[in-house]
Amino acid sequence: MSEQNWDRIWKGAGLVTGKGEGLGLVERGLIAVRGGKIAWIGPEEEAPPHLCAATPQVTTLNGGWVFPGLIDCHTHLVFAGNRAREFERRLEGASYEEIARAGGGILSTVRDTRAASEGELFDASLPRARDLLREGVTTLEIKSGYGLDLENEIKMLRVARAIGRELGLTIKTTCLAAHALPPEYAARSTDYIDLVCHEILPRIAQEGLADAVDGFCEGIAFSPEEITRVFEAAQKLAMPVKLHADQLSDLNGAALAASYGGLSADHLEYTNPEGVEAMSRAGTVAVLLPGAFYTLKETRLPPIETFRKAGVAMALASDCNPGSSPISSLRLILNMGCTLFGLTPTEALRAVTVNAAKALAEDERKGRLAIGMDADFCHYNIGAPADLCYWMSGESPDKVVIGGREITVL
């Protein structure tokens, strides 16, 4: 991205600023950008007169709504291979767990991801990030976790960073080496956790390849005790943690993540009231993943009302992955968040902006439109902000601005 200042004004549309507890709507707003940051924002008629006179470029929009750049705070979009056959097997009656226990599922993607060169992995993954960008996603998180050894975890994280450079997106990377037990460690999970704690995490920290550490705490993955070891190692390396918690069963994962000051606990279908309380005290964000809930035909809902009452911030994310959430549309996730999980459109829109920023520790810079924040935003020709939740797919943004610069999405 160019270092140039793109001093510019956008006006003539409504603004979803995210100020306060709701959407912080401004009916007819103006945004002035200087040096990649928002320099002024508010109702058009209140803009200081010198601002327009002193700004070289003014774009007048014809109605519609401007949102903060959307944030997808949980994805596994870097992977190789194809799991359409697994989809067919599930339709024939096999469960996700059965397929995983038989060496399919995550491990089939591990085989394909290990076999791919860095260039092949980049080429396979880039279109999924581009899908998200086309919808207005300007910040996204990408996890490793299909490498499961030092070399391949590093390869995945490098590809994730390269996608950010290619598309001009902000990418936050997460090391999910504790995702599944690789075949060469079958029945030796303690040894694998040793490898994660003593080799993979220190090396990834040293190379600055990951912004956080994640794990999969589940019967088919790692126990709370094993995840505790991973979190201890992360803490020593001063890396923040998050957790795939309570997705298929209640292992007190939410409370475990909260006890390490987790940025987020994710999935949470089986989270118990104590877990919710612990998250509330720790300020851990609840990342809800309705794409996986839908795909696995789950019936147990995350405890949304308990999160609301406890004041736990809720985010929504795609969980884009080849097994349990084959989806690269945050727009559809907004709809699922409302229709399947009962979020209001206001909650859902905050869930992919301000709360998703918090889940990535980016809330000082992103997720809201306010003076001093990064000038990441997108404009949609829609009649009401809730259209983004109500209409499934549909209108792409006609403008995407990242760091004050309008980008062309091909």
User: Which residues in this chain contact Fe ion in the complex, by CB under 5 A?
Assistant: 319
The one-character DSSP state at 369 is -
List strands edge to edge, sheet with 212-215: 70-72, 137-143, 170-178, 212-215
Q: Which two tokens stand for residue 309?
A: 């009452």
Between 114 and 153, how does the x/- string for binding to ligand DI6 read (CB under 6 A)? Answer: ----------------------------------------
C-alpha dihedral, 141 to 145 to 146 to 152, nearest 10°: 100
Of 281, 399, 285, 400, nearest to 347 by C-alpha is 285
- # chain residues binding ligand DI6, by CB under 6 A: 14
Between 370 and 409, how does the x/- string for binding to ligand DI6 read (CB under 6 A)? Answer: ----------------------------------------
Q: Cβ 221 to Fe ion, closest distance in Å?
A: 11
Residue 322 interacting with ligand DI6 (CB under 6 A): yes
Site for ligand DI6 in 22-61 (CB under 6 A): none
Q: Which two tokens stand for residue 88?
A: 């067919």
Residues 6+ apart with CB under 8 A from 85: none
Q: Cβ 209 to ligand DI6, closest distance in Å?
A: 20
Piece of the chain touching ligand DI6 by CB under 6 A; list 317-325, 328-336, 357-365, 398-406: 317-325
Closest to ligand DI6 by CB, 110 vs 205, is: 110
Residue 106 interacting with ligand DI6 (CB under 6 A): yes
Cβ-contact 180, 110 below 8 angstroms: yes
Among 75, 125, 321, 353, binds ligand DI6 (CB under 6 A): 321
Q: Cβ 102 to Fe ion, closest distance in Å?
A: 20
What DSSP string describes 324-350? TB----HHHHHHHHHHTT---HHHHHH
Closest-approach residue to Fe ion (CB): 319
Site for ligand DI6 in 289-308 (CB under 6 A): 292
Q: Specify which residues 142 forms β-bridges with.
A: 173
Dihedral sign, CA of 325, 323, 107, 163?
Answer: negative
Q: Strand, helix or coil at 354?
A: helix
Closest to ligand DI6 by CB, 244 vs 358, is: 244
Of 229, 228, 310, nearest to 271 by C-alpha is 310
Among 12, 26, 66, 109, binds ligand DI6 (CB under 6 A): 109
Piece of the chain touching ligand DI6 by CB under 6 A; list 44-52, 104-112, 167-175, 366-374: 104-112
C-alpha dihedral, 136 to 141 to 142 to 145, nearest 10°: -150
Residue 179 interacting with ligand DI6 (CB under 6 A): yes
Q: Cβ 80 to ligand DI6, closest distance in Å?
A: 12
Between 206 and 245, how does the x/- string for binding to ligand DI6 read (CB under 6 A)? Answer: ----------x---------------------------x-
Closest to Fe ion by CB, 149 vs 214, is: 214
Of 222, 143, 135, nearest to 178 by C-alpha is 222
For residue 85, give the H/E element and its range.
Answer: helix 84-91
271 binds, among Fe ion, ligand DI6, none (CB under 5 to 8 A by kind): none
Show the DSSP H helices in 260-344 as ranges.
Answer: 273-282, 290-295, 304-310, 330-339
Contacting residues toward ligand DI6, per CB under 6 A: 76, 105-106, 109, 179, 216, 244, 292, 319, 321-325
